Chain A
């Protein structure tokens, strides 16, 4: 009997990325304790190497189930694992300079990033509600700490506390939903749940309640309206590279879960939840965009913009077709590069103690640091959705998926929303290019090598996804959930 529960070697191999990340995380913690102070700059490199190793392991993995079907390594999981590990890689590059500036050695920081990614990888591979919960908790707890990483900074503390309280509350909803569906279907395995739903063995009211509760939990994690309230405060308060990470990494993983649970597990009752998502996605886009117009702090504005972008992805989820899933996945990848890049520029620009985070502070950046301004332009154009950037193709593909299933009004309103959004992104272009350099430009140092890697790498990714989307899109299309 016990033999059945003993995993085989190949099953361990399937979770190799997680294993590598955990081991490297522990190693970093150990090195932090033993290394002399001046040698600690190596920690970021260790984290980078660990992430590269995990990336390779995620790429060359052997598809299949692991641990009694609790984890499933399919194309879908591989896509998201590669995505979140890649996000972690760029985040590490965007962080090292920032941490040095703030007087931090950063051992714990990299360890937390790695652990958070482990959680996200588990979320991407989980085929089981309990595993999803565990992954979510691993990811979230690390993220809570990251948000308050500079513990002497009041804003960091506020951010972490808010994130923690609201996040736990949302996780409780999720867990309650899991309990309902377990009670109703007798299983927490998504494949089994799907089967039970198809066979009509589950009382519909109970299944709907479970779906609603899980949706609340996940809507919080992807910062969908009306559960988006935490995002602006958290992103504004957290260190800029952490905001970059939070706005793309945990969010991508949460969308992976959303797709896996709703399009996969609860797929048979899509006609019940799709209308709900219709409303949520429209509300999310609209709230995000209109609130972003009013912001004067660039981190807060990017936070609202990330809410709006979650709304676009939800449009693809609402379509609950294979095109829709592929569109959501592509968009998340494009958005990851774009938003990481934008936040990285903010991290570079803000200087010690994040003094310069107002939009108006960017005045004249194009004259002082034309390369950085040009990169920021690429990110902003991608966020607007101008062709030849990943953001455009992602949006195009999302609305294509929506129109395929006749979501005409959602498409029209979504596209008009993106025209509204253009306004606040253009405002940053205006201050960067069309204003004279102000006081905030006086002590702006050129970007360091690591920051350049993060920013240029993100810009390159944004453009490549816009000009040659097939590479990623084919991958996403193969990851069929049905």
Chain B
């Protein structure tokens, strides 16, 4: 097959396109660094998940250790059932507690894991027993107002 300059330009053009896509994927996007090679799944039940969404980060001591893989409503216990995909590099004791937190006052919701003292480790399919629900701001304000009103009533 004879070589022409058009081939050269076409090749350079396509390579430039792929290079740009690669830059977008690796440098601007989160492909590569963020996706752990292998994960194990752990479940937890929450009374209220607030604004938690699938793919929200799971952090322990502020370090990203996994992501929320699935959220669904357990219709027998009337609670939210959340599945975390945790990076296999990290293991946690069986009595680890999970709580739903917010980064900043109005930031995104994430799951915080606090390690316990058990010698056994969480494995694939285990359940995190100790959970703390999301703090719903409206409810908090309601409670505050209610207790304030009660205080005033008691004083009189």
Chain A bound to chain B: no
